[in-house]
Amino acid sequence: MTVARTARDRARQEITAEILAAGRAQLHRTGPSELSLRAVARDVGMVSSAVYRYFASRDELLTALIIAAYDELGAAAEAADEAVEDRTDHLARWQATCRATREWSVAHPHDYALIYGSPVPGYAAPQDTVMPATRVIVRLVEIIVGAHASGHTSGAAAPPAGAVDPSPVVADAMAFIAEHSDISLEALPELVMRTLMAWSTIFGTLSFELFGHLKGSVSDYESYFEQTTLRLAGDLGLA
Amino acid sequence: MTVARTARDRARQEITAEILAAGRAQLHRTGPSELSLRAVARDVGMVSSAVYRYFASRDELLTALIIAAYDELGAAAEAADEAVEDRTDHLARWQATCRATREWSVAHPHDYALIYGSPVPGYAAPQDTVMPATRVIVRLVEIIVGAHASGHTSGAAAPPAGAVDPSPVVADAMAFIAEHSDISLEALPELVMRTLMAWSTIFGTLSFELFGHLKGSVSDYESYFEQTTLRLAGDLGLA
DNA sequence: ACAATGCAAGAGCAATGCTCTCGTTTGTTG
DNA sequence: CAACAAACGAGAGCATTGCTCTTGCATTGT
């Protein structure tokens, strides 16, 4: 956060925040594709053209909202993990992190759709969004690798017959982790593979729930999710 | 398909199909939320108001396109399964069905986003869409249950310690299968639970791939998907 | 042959994203 | 302190959207 020097700078920051908040509020009422820059302008008592002094386009406003959503979700997940007192109970940490992810998602379905739903066409996520987007999965990786490093594991799911060495497939993911964190996961490609799968399962399940694909198949979404993440933890060898 | 009796009926069916095709084509160029009824009208050489004789609203056009997409995907998956000659090789059938699902999805990303992305706000999927939507998962269930019924299985993943009986959680799904198919899966709640999870993983993975969430983590999407479904098959006990 | 119906066209409404041009306010520089 | 440049808010305007309504024309079944 840069310090606001002049009064104008301060006003600019404030108004920018106001616009973002109004956009946020409108997002909760309508939905990503329905977000109207004019309506946001009305909410903050400005004329539509004035908003363009702060955001060059509707997409730029969306990008800011996307980053905010990623950060909020990431913070919620991290906080839930850190609230677990026994830091060696990796299963509890895993479940808490997953649970917080779901709770934030069902509490903010429109924000969830904004970041995990279909991208708005023609909109390419700028680089600013990638770091906030990784917070949840990075935390999950930390928990899993931490468990394996400290030996708090039971047997993880073994690769089935016919499976090839997943090293080349997950090489990029391993490189990313190696670069952006101090976690060491050399010689654990199968675990990384399973972690990616679990990650996909978690958000696939949430998307299914929030987008209505589980209607008719599952009634108690919370229990279903809980049982799902529990089995994923088992597959990952979390004791 | 009802037989077109009068010339007027025939023209109506033809024009309806033309509108749908134009909508389809436009969808491939832009995206669900960008689909413009006026542009579709222009494509088929009509004025926008004329289209309303065939579809009461933009949402109704979208619904028709959604059903078409579900049916196309379902048909592709079923055809891939049926192309496997050895009907007892349930693993091959599973992999073929999954592979076809992905192939259709990457070939039709916009149609995929239409059915598995964020729903358009205020739009509630009408009842007509639910049966076509179930074709893929029903086929997957058939393969899995068929394998278990005929004994072509190795050990499926066991529920981890602390897991509760998933029966109540998956009761609705079992009731649905019992009603809409002749598959018998009594006393297999854990398998149903794992099947739902695998289903979520498959489409979670596809959503991640198509919506750009795997960028930077996976480079060879095809191999990654293949290895993913292979492990899911293992978890489901497919030999 | 005729009345009823189906249909396409056009005008029109409210709303959208975005651009451009105005004065006005603000901050910096000579 | 004065002058200039940059930032700013307001308003008008453009092209576009989904949708409604009315008006005629063509097709249909009797």
Structure tokens at A25: 């509020």
What is the extent of the structural domain holding A129? 85-235
Weakest-pLDDT range from A209-213, B82-86, B174-178: B174-178
Does any domain span residue A75? Answer: no
Residue B6 CB in 7 A reach of strand D? yes
Same domain, B4 and B83: no
Does any domain span residue A161? Answer: yes
* pLDDT in the model for residue B124: 63
Please state, in angstroms and rounded to a whole number, the distance separating the CA atoms of residues B178 and B123.
29
Same domain, B41 and B87: no
Asked if pLDDT for residue B4 goes beyond 60, the answer is no
The mean per-residue pLDDT over the stretch A74-99 comes to 97
Does any domain span residue B32? Answer: yes
Q: From residues 32-51 of B, list those within 7 angstroms of strand C by Cβ.
A: 45-50
Residue matched to tokens 């799911």: A157
The residues near A158 (Cβ < 8 Å, ≥ 6 apart) are A190
Three-state secondary structure string covering chain A: CCCCCCHHHHHHHHHHHHHHHHHHHHHHHCCHHHCCHHHHHHHCCCCHHHHCCCCCCHHHHHHHHHHHHHHHHHHHHHHHHHCCCCCCCHHHHHHHHHHHHHHHHHHCHHHHHHHHCCCCCCCCCCHHHHHHHCHHHHHHHHHHHHHHHHCCECCCCCCCCCCCCCHHHHHHHHHHHHHHCCCCCCCCHHHHHHHHHHHHHHHHHHHHHHCCCCCCCCCCHHHHHHHHHHHHHHHCCEC
- CATH code of residue B202: 1.10.357.10
Asked if pLDDT for residue B2 goes beyond 70, the answer is no
pLDDT digits (tens, 9 = 90+) for B103-158: 999 999 999 999 999 886 556 666 788 889 999 999 999 999 899 888 878 877 88
Residue A201 CB in 7 A reach of strand C? no
Same domain, B45 and B90: no
The rounded mean pLDDT for chain B is 90
Q: Compute the nearest-CA separation of B145 from chain A (Å).
A: 17
Same domain, B133 and B207: yes
- Å between A56 CA and D5 C1'? 22
Domain count, chain A: 1
- Å between B50 CA and D27 C1'? 17
Please state, in angstroms and rounded to a whole number, the distance separating the CA atoms of residues A117 and A207.
8
Among A145, A134, A129, A120, which residue's Cα sits nearest to residue A203? A134
* pLDDT in the model for residue A18: 95
The mean per-residue pLDDT over the stretch B62-70 comes to 93
Asked if pLDDT for residue B178 goes beyond 60, the answer is yes
Does any domain span residue A112? Answer: yes
Nearest CB to B118; choose among A30, A113, A121: A113
The mean per-residue pLDDT over the stretch A187-197 comes to 91
The residues near A75 (Cβ < 8 Å, ≥ 6 apart) are A135
Q: Compute the nearest-CA separation of B222 from chain A (Å).
A: 9
SS3 B238: strand
Report which listed range, A138-147, A199-208, B49-58, is most confident. A199-208
Which residues in chain A are contacts of B163 at CB distance < 8 A? Answer: 227, 230-231, 234
Same domain, B212 and B94: yes
Final residue before a domain boundary, out of B30, B55, B80: B55
Q: Compute the nearest-CA separation of B33 from chain A (Å).
A: 7
Nucleotides of C under 7 A from a protein CB: 6-12, 15-21, 26-28
Same domain, B15 and B80: no
With CA atoms as reference, the chain B residue closest to A165 would be: B227
* pLDDT in the model for residue A197: 97
